[in-house]
């Protein structure tokens, strides 16, 4: 399914993800993090009905549990005692702190799942090509070579198998040795081929003038508006955060969870920033309904 958010200029999407990751790391407050996680889940639902996130379920759940347990295990600071195990104090502060960090990290990983759907390699390359043209070519060549190398490895292993040599059974010492011999064959084979590729590139005029690109992203009016929207919200939030709003101080004394006026202001901007892709999708759906 094509997402409306994916149609924005790569710069917009990149800025959204970079900003969101920063916010998740900066705004450590249970209410902020909880709501952010809900939004990110919704985001993933809109992208691929959570199928991407589902593949990460094991990693996500273990990280979450580990982080919640780890902090109280090593950290006895805090005034509100929940219970004692032997002589070990488990405090409310430690649990809250561990929980907040766990939510933040899970949020970041879930956000990256959505990032991988939206920011396809060609978009990232497009961004790179603007500021780091040589590096972008290198990366593109590498990306193109990876499937090629895979095929060549397959070829090599077919030839070797006909000689009765294989990596999949036998003693492990033997297997490591054959595996590495495959890679070595691949190396000599590919190095020679590489020279031909390079000469073809040169013959086609690589480096003579500016490069043309296969896919060109235009910066439209909607992109300008989106960037302005995101920049304003992000600077508002960072401004609030710099004065200590939108952040739960746990040590030395835990604050109340209650939100002040400015906290609520920061929270609103925070939610509006994170749910930008949702607004885009919702707006698109709404227009679709109207036009029918």
Partner 1 sequence: MRFNKTVKTVLLLLLASIFLVLNFWFENAYLWLSFGFVLLSILLFLVRFESRKVEPRELVLLAVLASIAAVGRIPFASIPSVQPTTFVIMMSGYVFGAESGFVIGAVAALASNMIMGQGPWTPWQMTAWGLVGLTAGLLRGTWVMNKKWGRILFGAVWGFLFGWIMNIWGFLAVVQSGSGVGFKAFLLYFASSAVFDTFHSVSNVILLLVFGDVWLKILTRFKRKYGLLE
Interaction residues for partner 1, span 63-122 (CB under 8 A): 66-67, 70-71, 73-77, 94, 97, 101, 104-105, 108-109, 112-113, 115-116, 119, 121
Count of residues in contact with partner 1, rule CB under 8 A: 78
User: Residue 47 or residue 241: which is nearer to partner 1 going by CB?
Assistant: 241
The helix or strand, by DSSP H or E, that contains position 95, with its residue range, turns out to be helix 92-118
* Residue 167 near residue 175 (C-beta atoms within 8 A): yes
Among 54, 219, 251, 288, binds partner 1 (CB under 8 A): 251
| Smallest distance from partner 1 to CB 97, Å | 5
Among 26, 50, 127, 278, binds partner 1 (CB under 8 A): 26
Among 2, 83, 163, 188, binds partner 1 (CB under 8 A): 188
User: Residue 197 or residue 262: which is nearer to partner 1 going by CB?
Assistant: 197
Q: Does 25 bind partner 1 (CB under 8 A)?
A: yes
Among 82, 132, 228, 285, binds partner 1 (CB under 8 A): 132
Alpha-carbon distance values, 60 to 54, 64, 81 (Å): 9, 6, 28
Subset of residues 148 to 187 that bind partner 1, contact rule: CB under 8 A: 148-150, 153, 157, 167-168, 172, 175-180, 182-184, 186-187
Q: Does 11 bind partner 1 (CB under 8 A)?
A: no
* Residue 105 near residue 87 (C-beta atoms within 8 A): no
Mark residues 194-223: x for contact with partner 1 by CB under 8 A, - for none: xx-xxx-xx---xx--x-------------
19-24: long-range contacts (C-beta < 8 A, 24 or more apart)? 19/230, 19/234, 19/273, 20/111, 20/273, 20/274, 21/108, 21/111, 23/234, 23/237, 23/270, 23/273, 23/274, 24/104, 24/107, 24/108, 24/111
User: Residue 141 or residue 272: which is nearer to partner 1 going by CB?
Assistant: 141
């Amino acid at each position: 399914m094509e997402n409306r958010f994916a149609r924005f200029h790569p710069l917009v999407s990149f800025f959204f993800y970079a900003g969101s990751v920063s916010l998740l790391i900066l705004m450590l407050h249970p209410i902020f993090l909880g709501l952010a996680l809900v939004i990110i889940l919704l985001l993933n639902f809109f992208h691929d009905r959570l199928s991407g996130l589902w593949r990460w379920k094991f990693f996500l759940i273990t990280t979450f549990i580990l982080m919640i347990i780890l902090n109280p295990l090593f950290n006895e600071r805090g005034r509100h005692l929940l219970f004692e195990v032997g002589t070990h104090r488990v405090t409310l502060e430690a649990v809250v702190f561990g929980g907040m960090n766990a939510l933040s990290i899970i949020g970041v990983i879930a956000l990256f799942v959505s990032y991988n759907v939206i920011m396809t390699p060609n978009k990232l390359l497009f961004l790179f090509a603007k500021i780091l043209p040589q590096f972008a070519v290198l990366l593109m060549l590498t990306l193109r070579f990876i499937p090629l190398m895979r095929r060549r490895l397959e070829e090599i292993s077919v030839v070797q198998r006909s000689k009765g040599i294989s990596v999949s059974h036998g003693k492990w010492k033997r297997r490591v040795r054959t595996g590495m011999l495959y890679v070595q064959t691949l190396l000599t084979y590919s190095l020679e081929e590489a020279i031909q590729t390079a000469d073809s590139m040169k013959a086609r005029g690589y480096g003579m003038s500016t490069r043309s690109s296969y896919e060109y992203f235009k910066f439209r009016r909607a992109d300008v508006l989106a960037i302005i929207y995101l920049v304003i919200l992000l600077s508002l939030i960072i401004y609030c955060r710099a004065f200590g709003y939108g952040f739960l101080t746990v040590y030395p004394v835990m604050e109340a969870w209650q939100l002040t006026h400015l906290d609520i202001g920061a929270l609103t901007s925070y939610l509006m920033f994170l749910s930008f892709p949702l607004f885009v999708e919702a707006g698109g759906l709404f227009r679709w309904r109207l036009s029918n």
